[in-house]
Amino acid sequence: MSDQSDSPDGPKKPWERQGGFARRLRNHFFTGIIVTAPIAITIFLVWQFIGFVDGTIAGLIPARYLPQTYLPFAVPGIGLLIAFVFLTLVGALAANFLGRWLVRTGDRIVNRMPVVRSVYGTLKKIFETVLAQSSRSFREVVLVEYPRKGIWAVGFITGTTEGEIQTITTSKMINVFLPTTPNPTSGFLLFVPHDTVVPLQMSVEEGIKLVISGGIMVPPEQGAPHADPRVVAQPKALAE
């Protein structure tokens, strides 16, 4: 009985067998990197973030109140827990009458500062838009023809266009954020006619993964696809 690993030209040479083993070993090695690298990098980044917060908060608290003063080891996450409790208390304070009065007073003071008011106002608007529970920003993924006709890009609806930009245009416009790959925190703000975008069924998280991976992580198809991208449906964010 002949060896199944033999080629039609005869038995493989010893170095040929070693080459196949080396190739399988290399494939297994790279597979191991693909499996473990995301987990290891995520754990490293989370650990670095916890260490940064702990180091920052620990410098603001007297040593006698820190657990490591009485324990032979440091307790990770104490600073993060203190920051969480502090921010929760600030949010609870801002929700009552006294807190709202303090916030309004602080806003009036900051708005009188020439340079600071611009930075503060912009940052406040961004956080209110992104974090507010009633906000619909970044709640829908759409296709936009960009940078020219026939080429489609993934974007995120951030709202309905208002003000001067809407008044000087004849079509109803929407704001679309077009992220770059692989860094979705940078991108372009486009003002697009609402009837020219194609709404997608994928979630915002799936859309972000698609952008970051450069098209490698494609989410599964959901629902009936559009037969032609030019057959445009109204985005859900505008239909509500």
DSSP secondary structure letters along 182-223:
S-TTSEEEEEEEGGG-EE-SS-HHHHHHHHHTTTSSPPPP-S
Which pLDDT score is estimated for 142?
93
The distance in angstroms from the start CA to the end CA of the chain is: 73
H or E element, residue 152 = strand 152-160
Which pLDDT score is estimated for 30?
86
> Are residues 201 and 222 in contact, defined by beta-carbon separation less than 8 angstroms?
yes
Confidence category of residue 8, pLDDT binned at 50, 70, 90: low
**Strand pairing of 141-145 and 198-199?**
antiparallel
Span 129-169, pLDDT tens digits? 666 544 555 778 999 999 988 999 999 998 889 889 999 99
Q: How far apart are CA 97 and CA 126, in angstroms?
A: 24
Question: Amino acid identity, residue 194?
Answer: H
Q: How far apart are CA 235 and CA 21, in angstroms?
A: 53
Span 183-232, pLDDT tens digits? 777 889 999 999 999 999 998 888 888 888 888 888 887 665 554 555 55
Count Cβ atoms below 10 Å from residue 187 Cβ, excluding itself: 17
Secondary structure (3-state) at 98: helix
Which pLDDT score is estimated for 146?
92
Using the predicted structure, report yes or no on whether residue 82 has a pLDDT greater than 60: yes
Which pLDDT score is estimated for 134?
47
Of residues 240, 165, 154, 136, the one with CA closest to residue 197: 154
φ/ψ of 184, rounded to 5, equals -75, -5
User: What percent of the chain has a predicted confidence (pLDDT) above 70?
Assistant: 80
Q: How far apart are CA 174 and CA 186, in angstroms?
A: 19
**Burial (CB count within 10 angstroms: exposed 0-12, middle 13-18, buried 19+), residue 36:** exposed
Question: Amino acid identity, residue 33?
Answer: I
Which pLDDT score is estimated for 239?
53
